[in-house]
Chain A
Amino acid sequence: MRLRLITLLTVCLLLCSGTLQASVTLEAFTFTNVDEEQRFKDLIEELRCLVCQNQSLIDSDAELAHDLRAEVYGMMQAGDSDAQIVDFLVARYGDFVLYSPPVKPSTWLIWFGPFVLLLVAALLLFRSLRRQQQAPQQDISDADRQRLEQIMTDSNADEDHQP
């Protein structure tokens, strides 16, 4: 089934073959301080390698990824803000270059979907709890009911520590 197998796709359409790259090193970009390096890493983590099979720019060894990383670095050195760099790439490659979808009305489904699902699940839970508690109960005398409760609590005490 889903073998962690990579086929050597001889896809010449794309700049890199579809193999998982096992030899990635970031180019020797120099940064003046740690914060700047971290900013660079944060940026390229959020950008997608377009020719690769589901990798971000920080993971990919494809040529285009090299070029795009150089582009991001160049823009950072030129003083562009994060937003400007991202907009630059989105203008040329579309939303797909963002590794995670942007938050806009068309992607609300993705960003709010999980929480909607959670709400639906909670609703289902409460409804089914109420339904099963309202199930008709047979009439038994109070004395019998008390006896039953007693028995139930006893057996419960044992059961509680059985998973």
Chain B
Amino acid sequence: MIPELGHFALILALCLSLVLAIMPMTGSLANIPRWVAMAKPAAWGQFFFTAIAFACLVNAFLSNDFSVAYVANHGNSLLPTVYKVSAVWGAHEGSLLLWALILSGWTIAVATLTSNLPAVMLARVLSVMGMISIGFMSFLLFTSNPFERVFPVPLEGGDLNPLLQDFGLAIHPPMLYMGYVGLSVAFSFAIAALIGGKLDATWARWSRPWTTVAWVFLTIGITLGSWWAYYELGWGGWWFWDPVENASFMPWLVATALIHSLAVTEKRGAFKRWTVLLSLMAFSLSLLGTFLVRSGVLTSVHSFAADPARGLFILIFLLIVIGGSLTLYAWRAPDVTSGGRFSTLSRETLLLGNNLLLVVITAFILLGTLAPLFYDAMGWGKISVGFPWFNTMFVIFTPLMVVLMGLGPMARWKHQAPAELLRTYRMALLASLAAGILVALPLLHDGSPWAGLAVFLSVWLVSSLLLSLRQRYRNRASIGKLLKNPAARGNGSYFGMVIAHLGVAVFIIGVTFVSLFEEEQDVRMSPGQSIDMAGYTFRFDGVRSVQGPNYRADQGTIVVTRAGKQEAQLTPEKRTYTVQTKPMTEAGINAGLMRDIYVSLGEGLGGGDWSLRLYYKPFVRWIWLGGLLIALGGLLAALDRRYRIGVRRYASTTAPASRKSLAPGA
């Protein structure tokens, strides 16, 4: 009964999506205010019914309703409650329903939090989001119905894949989806602006906080995924350049370019067409990712069960959404007037340069991901483009970006005299070079030049931030102002930038140092035996059997000491789950800011002996620390009060709220 209710709710949600997509948009074009006013109610209705559908599916899992095929495949009565809930989005159909729910959630967020946006513009934005909803709802209802029944009803469910029975992985998809779907807001704003023909700084100001928040979620989602892979997969890897990972990284890169481009459009009225194009591209890449994961076109450890029929549906959807938006762009963009001019050396150029670098990186990641498919389609044989290629390319291009990132904060808008820039950065450059060379020298064995490069780049970034901070707070008055009112307009954006860029520096150190200086040993150990590695002593204390809620495990005990003092007692496990019996490893990790000690259990070799993998991973946590800092920076920027105050004052005075009324395009 309840699954049918859910199914019916979904149908109603689709109907409301149709209303939302058609009527407000038509009303805005044909000047019918009553139709324009339907946007908000339709959005609410769509959300209401999607939420009901989602609740019904959750209920099916919680009540172990194995008559529903999806629950029968992925649920289980022994599953802990929290994983019964996360199992809802653990496979194709349910994850699509989550997508639809999050999409309708963002739609009502836009409907309610932008009450000062002109009704016509809001109506168009909501309509575009409604159109996207139509796509996902129809995909659900026509090809991937999560509420399908199965008969005869099995007595027990197939269980959620043990790898997914983990908190980190439970929230990773929702975070990612919040990001992808959030990018549809920027997309919708861009479409609405193209239709209306008004692509000015106001549009950028509206779009910016939404885009930043979406980007923050995406950052968290990707960071979570990487961290999860590290502790769950048993050999300490944290990024594989797998097609599905790339499919999440590409929208992130373009979204990063977008938030910076929006800054320029908002401030200087420049880059308008480029910003619009980026807005369209970011969400398009999100959709492309959906296609790649669910169509079976690429091999990936992450993909859902491949179904070319579903793939075709998504491809048609892509053609309509992306093709349509790019056609609109081709038609309307030429009429967009250009904004402020700027010299060859200026902050605008540096930002544009970095934008282009980000897009080039995105492009070659796409190239590498799709190359095997391309070669196969052209009949040129089968090739593999794997981790080593991606790494090489990424490591070559990223330093270029970081150098520009360092110059950005201190460069002037509109025109920067090269001599002045050189003067400003002289000490920073020297310090960075010195630090880099210092690190590269003493450890003159394999790989240390890379460490030197990483240190150079990080110190370069940090010194640029210090320069900027010193410039902004060069006298006591400015410091006083900051302390008196930390939440003043502009502070959020500024400190957001500082923290996010700091996060990048931390990330670079983490990635480089762990890759260069990690140590690993594959050993066979008997109980009581000790092995030394990286200054630590690992003593193996044997393996015993333990029982979990829905699994049985062999649990090893390894005591780690350093210079006689105990550092950690690790208990790596090898679990066999009751239903899906493929053995799974839980690594034993002693986490620290400067290093991780990581042990994973291999095979029992008889006589109490086991094979083990021992790892020493320096600076590995800096990778995710960097990611979190980046996300935090974005959050600070998005919460900047100027978006809220400025908005209200704009509505009441109809004059730009910005102080920079003299700057063109404000």
Contact = CB atoms under 8 A, between A and B. Distances in A.
Given A94-B381, A159-B413, A1 B177 contact: yes
A48 B389 CA distance: 13
Contact of A6 (B302, B357, B385): B302
A96 interface: yes
A163 B409 contact: yes
Interface string B498-538: 00000000000000000000000010100000000000000
Interface residues of A, number: 64
Contacts, number: 236
A53 B367 contact: no
Contacts of B180: 1
A54 B372 CA distance: 11
A117 B232 contact: no
B414 interface: yes
B427 interface: no
A28 B522 contact: yes
B80 interface: no
A79 B90 CA distance: 48
A163 B497 contact: yes
Contacts of B384: 48, 95-101
A20 interface: yes
A101 B91 contact: no
Interface stretch (B193-201, B285-293, B319-327): B285-293
Interface string A17-43: 111101111101000000000000000
Contact of A5 (B90, B263, B494): B90
Interface residues of B, number: 112
Interface of A: 1-9, 17-20, 22-26, 28, 45-46, 48, 52-56, 59, 94-101, 106-107, 109-111, 113-114, 117-118, 121-122, 124-125, 128-129, 132-133, 135, 151-152, 155-156, 158-163
Given A3-B302, A59-B240, A151-B662, 12 more contacts: A2-B290, A28-B611, A45-B387, A96-B381, A96-B382, A114-B396, A118-B360, A122-B356, A129-B344, A155-B660, A160-B411, A163-B637
Interface of B: 89-92, 95, 99, 161, 163-164, 169, 172-173, 176-177, 180, 225, 228-229, 232-235, 237, 240, 242-244, 247-248, 263, 267, 270, 286, 289-290, 292-294, 299-305, 338, 341-344, 347, 349, 352-353, 356-357, 359-360, 363-364, 367-368, 371, 380-389, 393, 396-397, 409-415, 468, 471-472, 490, 493-494, 496-497, 522, 524, 574, 580, 582-585, 600-603, 605, 611-613, 637, 659-660, 662-663
Listed from nearest, the 6 A-B pairs whose CB atoms lie closest are: A25-B602, A99-B386, A114-B364, A2-B293, A100-B389, A163-B497
